[in-house]
């Protein structure tokens, strides 16, 4: 037995709304995502900033990635905009390679797409997020 039939809605412009799965697929097609080992090596070589956007309870529960910058998701654009008055010192140019990390790699994809809209053309995210990092046996501190 199937669930209730949901009528196909339309936006005011007549187009159908985009679901989150479709949105993720669309934004991820706009950049190359990275695996945990690649992100680790790029950060160690000084070629990428690791940006942890997980909320505090997850960081407290699971630990931190050494060297990652902790930036709450609601502050991300302000902290990484090289033209912004609230930027991090590491946000030196639009060419900075920022690897955004959330818990499982979903919110980080949307965050990376938002950074692209700000002109940070090398922004990407970590496939599988923090959980993939930890599963790969990469460094985590409590």
Pairing type for strands 124-125 and 49-52 reads: unpaired
pLDDT above 60 (res 128): yes
Q: Rounded to 5, what percent of the chain is helix, strand, coil? A: 35, 10, 55
pLDDT tens digits, one per residue of 18-46: 899 999 999 999 999 999 999 999 999 99
Name the CATH superfamily, with its identifier, for domain 32-135: Rhodanese-like domain (3.40.250.10)
Return the sign of the alpha-carbon dihedral for residues 24, 106, 101, 89: positive
CA distance 102 to 109: 9
* Residue written as token pair 């970590």: 126
Q: What pLDDT digit, counting tens, does each position of 55-109 carry? A: 999 999 999 999 999 999 999 999 999 999 999 999 999 999 999 999 999 999 9
Domain layout of the chain by residue ranges: 32-135
pLDDT for residue 17: 83
Handedness of CA 28, 24, 48, 91 (dihedral sign): positive
β partners of residue 50: 99
51 phi, psi to nearest 5 deg: -120, 110
| pLDDT band with cut points at 50, 70 and 90 for residue 15 | confident
């Amino acid at each position: 037995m199937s669930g209730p039939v949901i009528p196909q809605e339309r936006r005011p412009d007549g187009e159908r709304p985009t679901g989150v799965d479709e949105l993720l697929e669309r934004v991820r097609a706009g950049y190359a995502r990275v695996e945990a080992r690649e992100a680790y090596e790029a950060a160690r070589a000084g070629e990428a900033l690791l940006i942890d956007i997980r909320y505090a309870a997850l960081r407290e529960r699971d630990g931190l990635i050494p060297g990652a910058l902790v930036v709450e998701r609601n502050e991300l654009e302000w902290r990484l905009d090289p033209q912004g008055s609230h930027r991090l010192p590491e946000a030196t140019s639009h060419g900075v390679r920022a690897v955004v990390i959330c818990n499982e790699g979903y919110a980080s994809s949307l965050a990376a797409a938002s950074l692209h809209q700000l002109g940070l053309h090398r922004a990407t995210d970590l496939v599988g997020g923090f959980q993939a990092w930890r599963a790969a046996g990469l460094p985590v501190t409590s």
